[in-house]
Amino acid sequence: MDLTTFMQDSEHKQKVERIFSKGVRMIYQDALKSLVSDIELIDLLATMETVPEEITTEFLQCLKKQPEIIEAAPKLPGGMSPLKEYNEWEPVTPKSFLSFFLSRYKTVSQILWRRPQLKNAVSIAQTSRIRGREELAIIGMVRDIHDTHNNKRILTVEDLSGSTRVIVPSTLVEKGEIVTDEVIGIRGQAGRDIFFANSVIFPEIPQVQWPSAERPRALFVSDLHVGSKKFIEPVWDNVVSWLKEHKDVKYLFVAGDLVDGVGVYQNQNKSLEIETIEGQMESLAKYLKQLRSGLKIFVISGNHDPNRDSEPQPALPAEIAKPLKNICDLEIHSNPSWIDVEGITVLMYHGTSLDSIIDAIEPIRNKAYHDPCLGQMHLLKKRHLSPIFGRNKVFPDKEDFMVINKVPHVLHTGHVHKIGIGKYRGVRLLSSGTFQDTTDFQEKLGHEPSPGHFIVMELSNGVAKPIDFSRLQ
Question: Smallest distance, Å, CB 251 to Fe ion?
Answer: 21
Amino acid found at 460: S
Q: With binding defined as CB under 5 A, does residue 227 bind Fe ion?
A: no
Question: Smallest distance, Å, CB 274 to Fe ion?
Answer: 16
User: What contacts 110, CB < 8 A, 6 or more positions away?
Assistant: none
- 370 vs 398 by CB, closer to Fe ion: 370
Q: With binding defined as CB under 5 A, does residue 356 bind Fe ion?
A: no
CA–CA separation, 190 vs 185, rounded Å?
Answer: 14
Question: Smallest distance, Å, CB 1 to Fe ion?
Answer: 51
Q: With binding defined as CB under 5 A, does residue 371 bind Fe ion?
A: no
Stretch that binds Fe ion, among 30-38, 198-206, 251-259, 398-406 (CB under 5 A): 251-259
* Binding track over 136-155 against Fe ion, x by CB under 5 A: --------------------
- 59 vs 349 by CB, closer to Fe ion: 349
- 161 vs 438 by CB, closer to Fe ion: 438
Q: Is the CA virtual torsion 237, 242, 247, 252 positive or negative?
A: negative
Cα angle 363, 169, 121 (rounded to 5 degrees) comes to: 105
User: What contacts 221, CB < 8 A, 6 or more positions away?
Assistant: 239, 252, 253, 254, 255, 432, 433, 435, 454, 455
Question: Smallest distance, Å, CB 225 to Fe ion?
Answer: 6
Question: Smallest distance, Å, CB 414 to Fe ion?
Answer: 6
Q: With binding defined as CB under 5 A, does residue 336 bind Fe ion?
A: no
Q: Which residues pair with 457 in a beta bridge?
A: 218, 464
Question: Smallest distance, Å, CB 370 to Fe ion?
Answer: 17
Q: With binding defined as CB under 5 A, does residue 257 bind Fe ion?
A: yes
Residue length, the chain? 473
Question: Smallest distance, Å, CB 173 to Fe ion?
Answer: 29
Q: Alpha helices, DSSP H only, in 39-79?
A: 39-47, 57-65
Find the binder of Fe ion among 107, 238, 271, 303 (CB under 5 A): 303
CA–CA separation, 406 vs 397, rounded Å?
Answer: 19
User: What contacts 71, CB < 8 A, 6 or more positions away?
Assistant: 87, 314, 315, 318
Buried (b) or exposed (e) across 448-467, using 16+ Cβ within 10 A?
ebbbbbbbbbebbebebebb
Q: Is the CA virtual torsion 109, 114, 118, 122 positive or negative?
A: positive
- 326 vs 439 by CB, closer to Fe ion: 439
- 223 vs 371 by CB, closer to Fe ion: 223
CA–CA separation, 341 vs 328, rounded Å?
Answer: 17
Q: How many residues bind Fe ion (CB under 5 A)?
A: 5
In a 3-state reduction of DSSP, which class is residue 337?
strand
Question: Smallest distance, Å, CB 32 to Fe ion?
Answer: 42
* Binding track over 385-424 against Fe ion, x by CB under 5 A: ------------------------------x---------
Find the binder of Fe ion among 203, 302, 314, 433 (CB under 5 A): 302
Question: Smallest distance, Å, CB 223 to Fe ion?
Answer: 4
CA–CA separation, 99 vs 105, rounded Å?
Answer: 10
- 283 vs 303 by CB, closer to Fe ion: 303
Q: With binding defined as CB under 5 A, does residue 306 bind Fe ion?
A: no
- 85 vs 223 by CB, closer to Fe ion: 223
- 104 vs 415 by CB, closer to Fe ion: 415
Question: Smallest distance, Å, CB 255 to Fe ion?
Answer: 9
- 222 vs 326 by CB, closer to Fe ion: 222
CA–CA separation, 189 vs 197, rounded Å?
Answer: 7
Q: With binding defined as CB under 5 A, does residue 223 bind Fe ion?
A: yes
Q: With binding defined as CB under 5 A, does residue 305 bind Fe ion?
A: no
Q: How far apart are the first and last CA of the chain?
A: 44
Give the number of other Cβ atoms within 10 Å of residue 377's Cβ: 22
- 223 vs 331 by CB, closer to Fe ion: 223
Q: With binding defined as CB under 5 A, does residue 177 bind Fe ion?
A: no
CA–CA separation, 191 vs 87, rounded Å?
Answer: 45
Cα angle 141, 144, 148 (rounded to 5 degrees) comes to: 130
Question: Smallest distance, Å, CB 432 to Fe ion?
Answer: 10
Helix (H) or strand (E) holding 169: strand 163-169
User: What contacts 93, CB < 8 A, 6 or more positions away?
Assistant: none
Q: Which residues are near Fe ion by CB under 5 A?
A: 223, 257, 302-303, 415
